[in-house]
């Protein structure tokens, strides 16, 4: 099969690989669509601490069941599915309390094992979700990133009574915004990039200019109270440290953005008690695929409209372009059938 393989940082090569065979409890999925995520770009840039090279990336995978492992019961051959890429060990504390997304021995398809930038991929049968009738593989490839938005909104307990401020209008920030909007919340989103804010506004969020003037603007908008929910999706330390001054007393801060290993982030200690603010981490997703699939199926998520489809053979140039300029594209999806 054809595969796009990360050989080393800044080296992505198209390669002929043997088609992977499913072992017991696994299925083989013929890939129809695989989204390019910031995580993949990090592998390309050599900034993903979990990956070993060579590796086939791609964890936002939609396709069809093409083989079942020995003695494995699963969906019929040809069934359209999405693959949930996180595989918990099932034994550690987080796995025992139903948080396999924080598993101490987490395996991610496309990071720790071969992913979907290929014609076929294998996955444990319990990681499959059947796609509703009529949903295209292109749209289905968004189930994973939208699930990250679902997880963040679950962590922040976002409901229709909430006003939510999201820091960062990249793909994940926009996914969070659309999930929060679908829940009926009022959504503000802050970024420094005008084009990203324009998209956020089209999706129904109120755009705000990020930076030093943001706290003042937030206080003006909320009558001096601050935001009930602040969701951090930039990974920028300064933005993260700003959250304590943006959140209302009694409010929730959800941190989705990643900072480098060992990089400290500080919050004013007195605010923790004075505001009784809740600071929550949110990692990838767990149990969020069904809600994400439902949101996409009923057209509540419009971000895919501004994504661009490519052939897998274009992967080397797409990654090279993104490495030059990360805002060259809003979102890329590699497709078996273009247009
Ligand atoms: Zn991703
Ligand atoms: Zn575990």
Residue-wise pLDDT tens digits, 162-186: 999 999 999 999 999 999 999 999 9
Ligand nearest to the CA of 102: 2
Distance 85 CA to ligand 2 centre (A): 14
Backbone angles phi, psi at 231, to 5 degrees: -115, 120
Name the region of 218 (left: φ>0; alpha: ψ -120 to 50; beta: rest). Answer: alpha
**CATH number, domain at 7?**
3.90.180.10
Domain presence at residue 301: no
197 and 136 housed in the same domain: no
pTM, entire model: 0.95
- For residue 123, the CA-to-ligand 1 centroid distance in Å is 16
pLDDT at 251: 98
Asked if residue 42 and residue 25 are part of one domain, the reply reads yes
- For ligand 2, the distance from its centroid to the CA atom of residue 286, given in whole angstroms, is 13
Do both 130 and 150 map to the same domain? no
56 burial class (0-12, 13-18, 19+ CB within 10 angstroms)?
A: buried
pLDDT given at position 339: 66
265 CA → ligand 1 middle, Å: 24
Task: Output the CA 256–ligand 2 centroid distance in Å.
Answer: 20
Residue 288 lies in a domain: no
Task: Tell me how far apart the 2 most distant CA atoms of the chain are, in Å.
Answer: 63
For residues 247 and 222, is the Cβ–Cβ distance under 8 A? Answer: no
Shared-domain flag, residues 275 and 315: no
Mean pLDDT of 103-117: 97
- What is the span of the domain harbouring residue 270? 146-281
Kindly state the average pLDDT of the residues 26-53.
Answer: 94
The secondary element (H helix, E strand) that includes residue 120 is strand 120-124
Residue 338 has pLDDT above 90, yes or no: no
Asked if 159 and 91 sit in the same domain, the reply is no
Cα of 219 vs centre of ligand 2, distance in Å, is 42
DSSP 283-315: -S-SS-HHHHHHHHHTT---GGGG-EEE-GGGH
147 CA to centre of ligand 1 in angstroms: 10
Q: What is the DSSP string of 25-86?
A: TEEEEEEEEEEE-HHHHHHHHT--TT--SSEE---EEEEEEEEE-TT---SPTT-EEEE--E
Dihedral angle computed from the Cα positions of residues 176, 179, 182 and 185, in that order, rounded to the nearest 10 degrees: -40
Q: Residues 202, 327: one domain?
A: no
- Same domain? For 100 and 227 the reply is no
What percentage of the chain has pLDDT greater than the value 70? 100
- Ligand lying closest to the C-alpha of residue 99: 2
For residues 110 and 116, is the Cβ–Cβ distance under 8 A? yes
- Looking at all shown ligands, the one closest to residue 283's CA atom is 1
308-310 and 332-335 beta bridge pairing:
parallel
Q: Is the pLDDT of residue 48 over 90?
A: no
């Amino acid at each position: 099969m054809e595969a796009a393989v990360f050989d080393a940082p800044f080296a992505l090569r198209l390669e002929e690989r043997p088609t992977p065979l499913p072992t017991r409890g696994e299925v083989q999925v013929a890939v129809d669509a695989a989204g390019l995520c910031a995580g993949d770009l990090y592998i390309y840039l050599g900034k993903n601490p979990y990956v070993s090279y060579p590796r086939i990336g791609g964890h936002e995978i939609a396709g069809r069941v093409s083989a079942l492992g020995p003695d494995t019961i699963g969906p019929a051959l040809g069934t359209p599915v999405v693959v949930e890429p996180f595989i918990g060990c099932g034994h550690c504390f987080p796995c025992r309390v139903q948080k396999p997304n924080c598993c101490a021995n987490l395996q991610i398809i496309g990071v720790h094992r071969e992913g979907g930038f290929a014609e076929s991929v294998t996955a444990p049968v319990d990681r499959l979700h059947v796609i509703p009738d009529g949903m295209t593989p292109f749209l289905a490839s968004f189930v994973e990133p939208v699930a990250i938005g679902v997880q963040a909104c679950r962590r922040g307990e976002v409901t229709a009574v909430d006003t939510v401020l999201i820091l960062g209008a990249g793909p994940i920030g926009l996914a969070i915004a659309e999930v929060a909007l679908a829940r009926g919340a009022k959504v503000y989103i802050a970024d420094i990039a005008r084009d990203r804010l324009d998209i956020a506004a089209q999706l129904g969020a109120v755009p705000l200019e990020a930076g030093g003037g943001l706290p003042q603007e937030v206080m003006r908008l909320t009558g001096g109270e601050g935001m009930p929910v602040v969701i951090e999706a930039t990974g920028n330390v300064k933005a993260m440290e700003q959250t304590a001054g943006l959140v209302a007393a009694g409010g929730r801060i959800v941190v989705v953005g990643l900072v480098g290993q060992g990089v400290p982030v500080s919050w004013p200690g007195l605010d923790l008690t004075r505001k009784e603010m809740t600071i929550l981490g949110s990692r990838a997703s767990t149990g969020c695929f069904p809600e994400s699939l439902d949101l996409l199926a009923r057209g509540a998520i419009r971000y895919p409209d501004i994504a661009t489809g490519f052939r897998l053979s274009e992967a080397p140039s797409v990654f090279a372009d993104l490495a030059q300029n990360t805002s060259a594209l809003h979102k890329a999806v590699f497709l078996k059938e273009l247009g």
